[in-house]
Amino acid sequence: MLEDMEKCRNTAIIVAAGSGNRLGSDIPKQFLKLNGREILSYSVKSFQNHPDVDALVIVTSAEYFEHVSASYPDCHVVIGGSTRQESVTNGMQAITDGTELVLVHDAARPLVSHDIISECLEKLMHFDGVAPAIKPTDSMIMINGEDFDPLERSSLRIVQTPQCFHADTLNKAHNSGVVDTDEMGLVRRAVPSARLGFAEGSPANMKVTRALDLEILQLVLNAGT
């Protein structure tokens, strides 16, 4: 895949430079194992197997650079930054000029499906940016000091990755100086004219954050085998 970077229309950037310290493990969550396989390897495989993804960039920390380069020889590996946005910026610098679509995915979401990737790419025919999202199932509130305000659940969404964009839109956002926690938020503020849409996400496309998440993912994987 690396040799083909010259003619890669659609490139996935998998961000794997976080330290994942909310899990209480010395090993960052993307390098923990599920069914004997590194969490990062699941999403790498999903994007590599997708016929409309031409190239893969993995962004990782300096500490894991050699490990990732050796484990994923078909991917372009670059070193990330101290925030997720800096890591994505470094990944963007590794994509080639001819790139049309960029898919930014959290390495900590191992169970992204073929259908989610396909729907995001299809919707990019009508939008400048598309991300998978799901409806919350719990009641939602906003804490307001000692008080709280109930939120209308039907108009809320939980936004997942891959967050997918036309490369020129994402480049513009990253060069704007605006800072945000994810690409949809960043593009919305940095490029107000961008048309942003959503695809159907999945609860299985969850992000490993707490120790219990690993057990839930293990159950999901077992149910699928």
* # of chain residues touching ligand C5P (CB under 6 A): 17
Rounded Cα distance between 19 and 103, Å, is 22
Considering only 16-24, 48-56, 141-149, 183-191, which stretch makes contact with ligand C5P by CB under 6 A?
16-24
Using CB under 6 A as the binding rule, whether residue 16 contacts ligand C5P is answered as yes
Task: Give the single-character DSSP code of 208.
Answer: P
Check binding of 15 to ligand C5P (CB under 6 A).
yes
- Burial pattern 86-123, b for ≥16 Cβ within 10 A else e, equals bbbbbbbebbeeebebbbbbbbbbbbbeeebbebbbeb
Q: Assess contact for 18 and 84: CB atoms under 8 A.
A: yes
CB-count exposure of residue 3 (10 Å: 0-12, 13-18, 19+) = exposed
- Among positions 76-95, residues that touch ligand C5P (CB under 6 A) are 80-84, 87
Cβ proximity to ligand C5P, 9 vs 113, nearer residue: 113
Can you tell me the distance from the alpha carbon of 203 to that of 216, in angstroms, rounded to the nearest whole number? 11
State in angstroms the smallest separation of the CB of 207 from ligand C5P: 6
206 binds ligand C5P (CB under 6 A): no
Task: Choose which of 32, 59, 120, 124 interacts with ligand C5P (CB under 6 A).
Answer: 59
Site for ligand C5P in 125-184 (CB under 6 A): none
Q: Given the complex with ligand C5P, which of 87 and 205 has the nearer CB atom?
A: 87
| Residue number, 89 or 171, with CB nearest to ligand C5P | 89
| Residue that is written with structure tokens 């809320």 in the block | 156
Q: Are strands 140-144 and 129-134 parallel, antiparallel or unpaired?
A: unpaired
- Figure out which of the listed residues 12, 107, 173, 184 binds ligand C5P, where binding follows CB under 6 A: 107
